[in-house]
Structure 1
Amino acid sequence: MGLAEQTCVPCRGGVPPLESDKIAELLPQLTGWQAVDNHHLRKEYRFKNFVKALDFVNRVGALAEEQKHHPDVRLSYGEVVLEILTHKIDGLTESDFIFAAKCDALPRDEGARL
């Protein structure tokens, strides 16, 4: 089963962040994402205009509520930057990769350039 078909598991804390070897194993399953300092995932999405970018942010927000996993979002004209990490442990979990894959599945009908 691919990452996008899985469900994020809420982190209750008290677990260590993923080790660099596990991050290196999961990252190739995502398109265009960076693992910044093995601490968080980051990706820039580009859109035709502000309205398309805002629509994507709203869809990410709905997904975040559904999955109970909330990214950091920066919105500007034609661009959205997502940063994903598990705040309770200040690092990456497998759910961060699952959420990233789910975000990538959203913009295909929205005119995004990944």
Structure 2
Amino acid sequence: MAPLLNESEIQERVQVLDGWNIESKTLRATRKFKDFIQSVDFVNKLVAPAESAGHHPDIEISYNTVKITLTTHDAGGLTQKDFDLAQVISQII
């Protein structure tokens, strides 16, 4: 199991992630697209990196809006795995 990050480690890491914020014990981002098709296309692009990392985001799709939530459930909060995957997701257009 990945070790939990402390509050200062979390704040340090979130500052370098554009468009991500901390909500309770999760890392969250919201992306808006032209329409539903583009939203689903974006979500489909998340599959390979999530599978490769063995770490899967919680995803909500509402028409042209995709909300991504990361947390390490088995650790009970945020770990480096969350920030690593967030960095990869940030590069997906």
Deviations 1:54-81 (A, max 9, x none): 0111111221111111000001111100
Indicate the RMSD between aligned Cα atoms, in angstroms: 1.1
Where do 1:1-114 residues align within 5 Å? 12=1, 15=3, 17-37=4-24, 39-107=25-93
Q: Which has the higher strand share?
A: 2
CA deviation vs aligned residue, 1:16-54 (integer Å, no higher than 9, x gap): x211010111111100111112x1101100000101100
CA distance in 2 between counterparts of 1:47 and 1:55 reads: 10
The unaligned stretches of length 5 or more in structure 2 are none
**Secondary structure at the counterpart of residue 81 of structure 1:** strand
Size of the aligned set, in residue pairs, is 93
Range with greater deviation from structure 2 (60-69 or 97-106): 60-69
4+ residue stretches of structure 1 with deviation over 4 A?
A: none
TM-score of the aligned structures, taking structure 2 as reference length = 0.94
